[in-house]
Each structure stands twice: as structure tokens, then as C-alpha cells.
């Protein structure tokens, strides 16, 4: 049994759930405790008590602790990637990349701990100086989804700690193993007990405590739009001080392919963006907006390339696309595939789930491509979160831009073109937090700001130096000489 980490102690839960391998549902990764409400409250109390001690550590001490975690993650890359692939179903090469990224994030924020600074302004009043400093926000509640079991926790936990905050971390129910491994490393990193707490369990129970408890000063959330809105509602309904909150939610990211695109680049961007990580990325390209002159060649090349993508056990050599994460997500993907057909989309490739592969029962789904779709169809409006992409044919670049922006979301958007003029125009005009030119919509650098516009995000950007906006609070001091 893997326990919760509360106030520096490993605490058994009131119940536990088995962690199932989606590549082989007979394989149980382990048993992971569920915290109850009282235990989650204990974790908040512990964080509240520990935070001033952690904030009083020198920046170098905080940097050293985070750097140790980063080094250990990188040293254990193969083992952690295997665990990640086993519990989440991400193909091993992608899982290895995610582990490395998590390690690099801890190392980046180790450096940031030393760079928390301020500003000195000249005052409009004689003899006065204006100092702008950054202080920790206090206790940060971290609620994460299952699709990046190490990287998303890393990019919230590392900056929170670097800035001197204490943390209560509630991972997604489906991926407790990576969360537990990270917590175990943090438990040995030299933080005062209670600075970092892990509470596993259900969102409505354990997550809700983080939303309601007045000792939690900030909540950073990544997950579905529906839950994100609940987080926001809970935050603004809290009596007294409202917590700071930051939300990363859905996407319906367009990849525009223009007539002058290099076809190979376009196909690689689309294959990677739509299907890698089984399409389970909020930055996945689910809308492929293709102009008339290249449309037929693009669709032919896509389907040929898709036929060569190996679907299989996430940990098997040669697998490019692992299984869908669980039965519920697979049912959602299949419902959208049925909907796409009934809305008039033409199923150009895939669409079949496989209950078994090489004798292993798992949640396998072929990469799926719809053509002849229109932007107003529900399959082009709603986030599917699976290996399903839709081609939308358009007349020219102007129409492509209009269709790309005609969506409630605005996380990532891409364009494939050899024209500098078009690349520049799309980079300026695409209404998204991240724009990719001749690159997949998914796949970002660990030190650059991450986040979206419209219904995709709320609050300051995550990652890189921009993370400090959320994890610190600004103080302006006026000093008369
Ligand atoms: P996903 O299924 O993509 O992970 P969800 O929005 O369902 O998206 O879940 C994201 C995270 O939010 C998970 O850790 C989940 O447990 C948590 N969560 C779900 N409901 C609530 C809630 N009412 N309060 C707080 N956290 C919640």
C-alpha cells in the first residue's frame, strides 16, 4: 500500500484503489491510499505551519533541495519512464521525454529560487523610494490531471516551492504512482516536514478541501473545463479572503496547412500533434484546417502515414501509440467517433477500438481521421481528448485563419507554410496563447511560458520566469529617507 505524505509522515488512507495498467488490465501497478477530508485538512494545517520555516530557508538552500530532486529524476529516467508508461499508457519514448522534462523543470526552478528579485522605482515625491518585492503567497493547493503524470505536477510543485510556498498536492485518481514517486523524492530533499504534502483520492472529496479551506491561499489547477469552472466558483464563493487561482483547461487546437506547405513537414506536424501521446494532450491538434490546393495530397499522405503507426503496449519496443487511459475515456472517444459519423464526417482512417492486442486486454484505439468535416460540427467544437483528428477543407489562407480562430478555446495553434509572409501573419493573428510555425501544436519547452486564451485558461502563465506571477504576491513599499 502506498500512503499519503502528511506533515512529513506516511499516512494510510481510509480506503485505497488499485492502479490499473491500461495496456494490460490484468496488471495492477499498485495499491494507492485515498485520503479522506480530515486527512486533507491535516495536510493543509501542516503546510500552513511549515510554510514560514521554508520561506526562512536561504534561497540557496531552497535551490539545493530542488536541484537534488531534479538530479534524482534524471538519474532515474528509465525506471520512472517505465512506471509512467505502465500506469498512464504513454509510449515509452514519450514517457522518457516527460521524465527528463520533469527533471529539467526542477533544475530550472532551483535556479529561479536564487533569482526572486524586485524593482526599485524613483518616486514622484522628493526623498521617497518605491521598492517592489515579491513574497510567497503561502500555502498552494495543486490539483492535476492524468495526462502528464510527472511533468504537470513538476511544473506546479517546483515553482511553488522555489518561491517559498508550502504545497498540498492532489494528483489525478488515475496516476497516483508517478505522484507518489515524486512525493517520495521530495520527502528526502531536506524540506521542513509539512512543506510538501501528498493527498491522493477523489476530486470531490480531497480536491474540494483545497478549494474550501481558508488556509489554502492559492490553487493551481489543470484539468477539464467543467472542473476548472467549479474551482473558480469555489474560489470566489469562499467567505473572507478569496484564494488566488490559476486554471489550465481544454483546447481544440487548429493546425493550418497552406497550399505552399512542405507536405512532409505538414504530415509530421499533424501526426505528432494529433496522435502522439494517444491524442491525450490539451495542446493536441484536433482540427486540421487544409487549403484546397494541398488538401487531397495531404489526406492521402496522412492516411498512408497513419497506417504505419504502431498501436500497442506502451512499454513494447516499436509502439508509437499506446492505449487510451481508461474505459471511461475510451467510451468518450468512441461516442465522439459515432457522433462524427452521424454529423456527416467521412471516416478516412481508423475508428476501431481493440479490446485486446497480442493477447493483452487493454483500451486500444486506432488513430482516427475524419475528412469532409465542418467547423460547426460538435466534433470540431468539443474537446475529444483522444487520437481523433478532423480535416476541415477551406478555400484559402484567409478562410483558414477565420476558421482557426472560430473556436471557444485558445491554447495552441499552428501553421505549416513556406511563406514568411503567411507565417508572420498567422503568428500575429492566431488567437492562442502559443503559436507554432512549421512545428506540432503540442510539444513545448520547459523554460518558456505556457498557457492559453479564451476558455482554455484563466490567470497568469505557467512555467519559465512567468510562473512567479502566480506563486508570489507583490509588495510595494514606500520608504522616506
Ligand atoms: P481529467 O479527467 O482530464 O483529469 P478533471 O477535471 O476531471 O479532468 O480532473 C482534474 C483534476 O481535478 C483531478 O485531480 C480531479 O480529481 C480533480 N477534481 C475533480 N473534481 C473536483 C472537484 N469538485 N474539486 C476539486 N478537484 C476536483
Note the pLDDT tens digit of each residue in 55-77: 999 999 999 999 999 999 999 99
Average pLDDT, integer, range 352-364: 96
The phi and psi torsions of 6 (rounded to 5 degrees) equal: -130, 125
Q: Which of 22, 203, 205, 247 maximizes ligand 1 atoms within 8 Å of its Cβ, making it the mutation to test the pocket? A: 203
pTM of the predicted model, to two decimals?
0.98
Query: pLDDT tens digits for 191-245?
Result: 999 999 999 999 999 999 999 999 999 999 999 999 999 999 999 999 999 999 9
Distance in Å from the first CA to the final CA of the chain: 61
Mean pLDDT of 179-194: 98
Distance 36 CA to ligand 1 centre (A): 16
Q: In angstroms, what is the span from residue 418 Cα to ligand 1's centroid?
A: 41
172, 213, 222, 457: which to mutate for ligand 1, most atoms within 8 A of CB? 172
* Distance between Cα 145 and ligand 1 center (Å): 7
Ligand 1, atom nearest to 227 Cα: 6
Place 256 in a pLDDT band, splitting at 50, 70 and 90.
very high
Q: Closest ligand 1 atom, CA of 172?
A: 14
Binding pocket residue ranges, ligand 1, CB within 6 Å = 143-146, 170, 172-173, 203-204, 207-208, 211, 223-224, 227, 230
CA distance 197 to 42: 10
Q: Which protein residue's CA is at the shortest distance from atom 7 of ligand 1? A: 224
β pairing state of 166-170 and 139-143: parallel
- Cα(476) to ligand 1 centroid in Å equals 36
Does residue 374 or residue 116 have the better pLDDT? 374
What 8-state DSSP symbol labels residue 206?
I
Distance from residue 127's CA to the centre of ligand 1 (Å)? 52
pLDDT reported for residue 81: 98
Q: Which atom of ligand 1 is nearest to the CA of 226?
A: 6
Portion of the chain with pLDDT greater than 70, in percent: 100
Identify the residue whose C-alpha is closest to ligand 1 atom 17. Answer: 203
Which triple of cell numbers denotes residue 247? 486554471
Report whether 156 contacts 105 (CB < 8 A). Answer: no
Nearest CA, atom 13, ligand 1: 172
pLDDT band (50, 70, 90) for residue 270? very high
**Of all atoms in ligand 1, which is nearest to the CA of residue 234?**
24
CB atoms within 10 A of CB 478: 11
Ligand 1 centroid from CA 170, angstroms:
9
Residues with catalytic roles: 248, 282
If one residue of 148, 157, 207 were mutated to test the ligand 1 pocket, choosing by the most ligand atoms within 8 A of its CB, it would be: 207
Q: So what's the pLDDT on residue 369?
A: 98
pLDDT tens digits, one per residue of 9-55: 999 988 998 999 999 999 999 999 999 999 999 999 999 999 999 99
Q: Report CA(151)–ligand 1 centroid distance (Å).
A: 17
Probe ligand 1: pick from 37, 227, 235, 385, max atoms within 8 Å of CB?
227
Please state the atom number of ligand 1 nearest to the C-alpha of residue 170: 14
What pLDDT score was predicted for residue 235?
98
pLDDT bin (cut points 50, 70, 90) of residue 1 is: confident
Rounded to an integer, the average pLDDT of 122-142 is: 97
Atom 19 of ligand 1 has which residue's CA nearest to it?
203
The residue nearest atom 14 of ligand 1, judged by CA position, is 172
Q: Compute, in angstroms, the gap from residue 471 CA to the centroid of ligand 1.
A: 21
Cα of 39 from ligand 1 centre, angstroms: 18
Closest atom of ligand 1 relative to the 225 alpha carbon: 6
Give the residue carrying C-alpha cell 483545497.
210
Residue 364 — φ and ψ, nearest 5°?
-85, 140
> Domains along the chain?
4-249+456-480 (3.40.605.10), 253-437 (3.40.309.10)
The ligand 1 atom at the shortest distance from the C-alpha of residue 145 is 4
Q: What is the mean pLDDT of the chain?
A: 97
What's the pLDDT band for 453 if we cut at 50, 70, 90? very high
CA distances, 77 to each of 91, 217, 443, 458 (Å): 14, 33, 19, 32
**Can you tell me the distance from the alpha carbon of 468 to that of 481, in angstroms, rounded to the nearest whole number?**
30
pLDDT of residue 14: 83
- pLDDT at residue 449 is higher than 90: yes
Q: Atom 16 in ligand 1: which residue has the minimum CA distance?
A: 203
- Ligand 1, atom 15, lies closest to the CA of 203
Model confidence at 362: pLDDT above 90? yes
Amino acid at each position: 500500500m502506498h500512503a499519503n505524505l502528511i506533515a512529513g509522515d506516511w499516512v494510510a488512507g481510509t480506503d485505497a484503489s488499485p492502479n490499473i495498467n491500461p495496456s494490460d488490465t490484468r496488471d495492477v501497478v499498485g495499491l494507492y491510499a485515498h485520503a479522506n477530508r480530515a486527512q486533507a485538512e491535516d495536510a493543509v494545517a501542516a503546510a500552513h505551519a511549515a510554510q514560514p520555516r521554508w520561506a526562512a530557508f536561504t534561497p540557496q538552500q531552497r535551490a539545493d533541495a530542488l536541484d537534488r530532486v531534479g538530479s534524482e529524476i534524471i538519474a532515474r529516467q528509465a525506471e520512472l519512464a517505465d512506471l509512467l508508461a505502465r500506469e498512464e499508457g504513454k509510449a515509452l519514448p514519450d514517457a522518457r521525454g516527460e521524465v527528463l522534462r520533469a527533471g529539467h523543470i526542477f533544475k530550472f526552478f532551483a535556479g529561479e529560487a536564487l533569482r526572486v528579485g524586485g524593482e526599485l522605482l524613483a518616486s514622484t515625491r522628493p526623498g521617497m523610494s518605491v521598492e517592489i518585492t515579491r513574497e510567497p503567497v503561502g500555502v498552494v493547493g495543486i490539483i492535476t490531471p492524468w495526462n502528464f503524470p510527472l511533468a504537470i505536477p513538476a511544473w506546479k510543485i517546483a515553482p511553488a516551492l522555489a518561491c517559498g510556498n508550502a504545497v498540498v498536492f492532489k494528483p489525478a485518481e488515475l496516476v497516483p504512482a508517478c505522484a507518489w514517486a515524486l512525493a517520495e523524492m521530495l520527502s528526502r530533499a531536506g524540506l521542513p516536514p509539512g512543506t510538501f504534502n501528498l493527498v491522493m483520492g477523489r476530486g470531490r472529496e480531497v480536491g474540494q478541501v483545497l478549494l474550501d479551506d481558508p488556509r489554502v491561499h492559492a490553487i493551481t489547477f489543470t484539468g477539464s473545463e467543467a472542473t476548472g469552472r467549479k474551482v473558480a466558483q469555489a474560489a470566489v464563493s469562499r467567505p473572507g479572503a478569496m484564494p488566488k487561482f490559476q486554471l489550465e483547461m481544454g483546447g481544440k487546437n487548429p493546425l493550418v496547412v497552406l497550399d505552399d506547405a512542405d507536405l512532409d513537414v505538414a504530415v509530421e506536424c499533424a501526426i505528432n500533434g494529433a496522435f502522439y501521446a494517444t491524442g491525450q494532450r490539451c495542446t493536441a491538434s484536433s482540427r486540421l484546417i487544409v487549403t484546397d490546393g494541398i488538401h487531397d495530397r495531404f489526406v492521402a499522405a496522412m492516411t498512408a502515414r497513419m497506417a504505419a503507426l504502431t498501436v500497442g503496449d506502451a512499454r513494447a519496443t516499436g509502439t508509437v501509440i499506446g492505449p487510451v487511459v481508461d474505459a471511461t475515456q475510451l467510451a468518450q472517444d468512441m461516442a465522439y467517433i459515432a457522433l462524427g459519423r452521424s454529423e456527416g464526417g467521412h471516416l478516412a482512417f481508423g475508428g476501431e477500438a481493440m479490446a485486446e492486442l497480442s493477447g493483452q486486454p487493454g483500451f486500444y484505439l486506432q488513430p482516427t481521421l475524419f475528412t469532409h468535416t465542418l467547423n460547426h460540427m460538435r466534433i470540431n467544437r468539443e474537446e475529444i481528448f483522444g487520437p481523433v483528428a478532423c480535416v476541415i477543407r477551406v478555400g484559402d489562407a484567409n478562410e483558414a485563419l477565420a476558421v482557426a480562430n472560430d473556436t471557444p478555446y485558445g491554447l495552441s495553434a499552428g501553421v505549416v507554410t513556406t511563406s514568411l509572409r503567411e507565417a508572420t501573419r498567422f503568428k500575429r493573428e492566431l488567437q492562442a496563447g502559443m503559436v507554432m510555425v512549421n512545428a506540432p501544436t503540442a510539444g513545448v519547452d520547459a523554460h518558456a511560458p505556457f498557457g492559453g486564451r479564451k476558455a482554455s485558461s484563466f490567470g497568469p502563465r505557467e512555467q519559465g520566469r512567468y510562473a512567479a506571477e502566480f506563486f508570489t504576491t507583490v509588495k510595494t513599499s514606500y520608504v522616506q529617507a
